[in-house]
Amino acid sequence: MTQTWFEHLSAPPTATEAEAIVAWRRALHAEPELSLCEVDTQRYVREALHAQGWQPVAVGGTGLAVVAGRGTAPALLLRADMDALPVQEQTGLPFASRRPGHMHACGHDAHMACLLGVAARLRSLEDQLPGRVVVAFQPGEENGRGAVAMIDDGLLDGRWCGDPTLRVAAALGMHVWSGLPVGHVSATAGPVMANVDDFKITVRGRGGHGALPHQAVDAVVAAAAVVQALQAMVSRGNDPMQPLVVTVGSIHGGSAFNVIAEQVELRGTCRSFGRDLADQLPNWLRATAVRAAGAYGAQADCEYTRYTIALHNDAAMADLVARSAAAAPGVDHVDRSLRMMAGEDFAYFAEQVPACFFFVGCGSPGRSSEPHHSPRFVVDEAALPIAVALMGRATAAWLSR
C-alpha cells in the first residue's frame, strides 16, 4: 500500500481535526498583532507545534519553521503569513479581536490554522514521506518585509536549521479569498499579484492671501492638477493591454480658509505587473508631476519606493494545484484566471523557486461579502477544511511527482 501516506495527506480533516483547526483560528483571531510584532502569535504557534511533537525554530524574527521528512531530497516550502492590520474590528463575533485597533482583517489567522492542520498530518506521516517539506510561518506580510527576512535567515537553503543539504526547490502559499464563495479555488499561471510601489509628491508654491491669488503660487490648485495628470497618465499614456493603477490615497496641505497654501503633500501607490513598466514608473511619475505643477508655477518633488515585486506563478506548479483542487473534496469550481492588483510578498519566494500562490474561497455562498482589510471582514469557516485538504493533496502530489 504505497499510496497510504498520499491518501492520508490528501484526505479532508476528520471532525476532531476540523474542530482543532477552528479553535486555533479563533484563538489567533482574538489576539492579532501587527507586522513584525507577532510575539504572542509566534508563542502560540510554537506551542501548538510543540504539542504536535515538532521543535520549531525562529526564522526571520517572529517567524517559525519546521522541516518534515528525512533524507536529503529537495524540499517543498509551505508558507502561511501571521500578521494582522491596524483596523478596529466591527464583526461582533464572539471571538473578535481583544486588542483595540488591531484585527485579523485579511484572514492570516485562517492561514496559520490551516498550516497547523497540515503540519499535524505531516508529523504523523514523517517516516513515510518520500521527500521533505518545510513548514514556515511568516511574519510581516502586510508591510512586505517578512518573506525577505526569512530568506535572509536562510529559509530556502537550510541555514535556518543548520542543515546544508536542505534546499527548498518549490513553494506553495494560500490565501483565503472573500471574493470567491466557499468551494471555489483559483490557481492561475503567470502574474497573479502586482508590483506594489509607494510614492510621495511634495508640491511647493508660494503662500499668500486668499483674496490675492495673483501675488501667490497656489500649491492646492497645482496639487489638484497633479492628481488629474496622474490619472491621465494611466488612461492616455499607458498601453491599455498592460495593467496599471495609480492611486493618490492621501492629500494634505494648507492651514486656513483665507490663506493660499504654500505646500501640499500627496501620497499614493502604483500597481503594475510587467517589470519594464515598473522600471519606468519612478521617472514617468516624477516627470508628470513636475509638468503638471509647473503649469501653475509650482514645483514638485517625488520620492518613489518599491514595496513588493509582482508575484508570478510557475505554470507547472499552478497546474499541480489546479489538478489537486479538481480532485479535492469540497471544491466545486476551479478557476485558472484570477489575477489582482493587490500585492503579496510571497512573490520573493516565487522569485527564487517555482511556486504557486492560490486562492481558496471563504465567502458565504449566496451572500455578498466584505472585502479583505474591511473592519467587517469575515471568513466562512467552511473554507478551512477545504484549504487543508487541498494543501495536503497538492503537497502529496509534489512529493510523488
Taking the complex as a whole, how short is the minimal distance between the CB of residue 51 and Zn ion, in angstroms? Answer: 26
Q: What is the C-alpha end-to-end distance of the chain, expressed in Å? A: 17
Cβ atoms within 10 Å, residue 381: 17
Binding of Zn ion at residue 28 (CB under 5 A)? no
Shortest reach from residue 181's CB to Zn ion, in Å: 18
Which is closer to Zn ion, CB of 282 or CB of 375?
Answer: 375
The distance of closest approach from Cβ of residue 187 to Zn ion in the complex, given in angstroms and rounded to an integer, is 17
Three-class secondary structure of residue 394 per DSSP = helix
Q: How far is the CB of 97 from Zn ion (least distance, A)?
A: 15
- Interaction of residue 347 with Zn ion, rule CB under 5 A: no
Binding piece for Zn ion, criterion CB under 5 A, among 18-26, 99-107, 118-126, 345-353: 99-107
* 106 vs 114 by CB, closer to Zn ion: 106
Q: Which amino acid is at 234?
A: V
Handedness of CA 26, 28, 31, 33 (dihedral sign): negative
| Stretch of 103-111, 161-169, 184-192, 317-325 contacting Zn ion, by CB under 5 A | 103-111
Q: How far is the CB of 372 from Zn ion (least distance, A)?
A: 5
Per the listing, cell 508660494 goes with: 206
DSSP 259: E
Distance CA 85, CA 34 (A): 6
221 or 350: CB nearest Zn ion: 350
Binding piece for Zn ion, criterion CB under 5 A, among 26-34, 101-109, 208-216, 226-234: 101-109
Three cell numbers written together for 115: 498550516
CB 380 within 8 A of CB 108: no
Which residue number, 124 or 143, has a Cβ lying nearer to Zn ion?
143
C-alpha distance from residue 302 to each of 30, 159, 198, 202, 288 (Å): 40, 39, 11, 7, 10
Least distance in angstroms from the C-beta of 264 to Zn ion? 29
Task: Give the residue closest to Zn ion by C-beta.
Answer: 106
Q: Least separation, in Å, of the C-beta of 196 and Zn ion? A: 11
Stretch that binds Zn ion, among 27-35, 43-51, 98-106, 176-184 (CB under 5 A): 98-106
For Zn ion, the closer of residues 46 and 108 by Cβ is: 108
- 106 makes contact with Zn ion (CB under 5 A): yes
Q: Which of residues 132-171 bind Zn ion (CB under 5 A)?
A: none
Min separation Cβ 65 and Zn ion, Å: 19
Amino acid in position 187 = A
Q: Which three cell numbers stand for residue 42?
A: 509566534
Minimum distance between the CB of residue 279 and Zn ion, rounded to whole angstroms? Answer: 25
Q: Let me know: does 242 contact 274? Beta carbons within 8 Å.
A: yes
On the 0-12 / 13-18 / 19+ scale of CB atoms within 10 A, 66 is: buried
Select from 6-14, 36-44, 106-114, 267-275 the region that touches Zn ion (CB under 5 A).
106-114
Question: From the CB of 257, what's the least distance to Zn ion, in Å?
Answer: 38
Q: Judged by CB under 5 A, how many residues of this single chain contact Zn ion?
A: 1
Q: In the complex with Zn ion, which residue's Cβ is closer, 21 or 106?
A: 106
CA distances from 157 to 54, 74, 75, 281, 388 (A): 20, 10, 10, 33, 26
Between residues 33 and 262, which has the closer beta carbon with respect to Zn ion? 33
Q: Give the cell for residue 328.
A: 479535492
Q: Which stretch binds Zn ion (CB under 5 A): 102-110, 151-159, 233-241, 265-273?
A: 102-110
Q: Considering only CA atoms, give the Rg of the chain.
A: 24
By beta-carbon proximity to Zn ion, the closer residue of 6 and 359 is 359
Q: Which is nearer to Zn ion, 48 or 106 (CB)?
A: 106
Handedness of CA 335, 340, 344, 346 (dihedral sign): positive
Shorter beta-carbon distance to Zn ion: residue 106 or 113: 106
DSSP readout, 291-339? HHHHTTT-EEEEEEEEEEPPEEE-HHHHHHHHHHHHHSTT--EEES---
DSSP 3-state assignment of 117? helix
Residues that bind Zn ion in the complex, under the rule CB under 5 A: 106
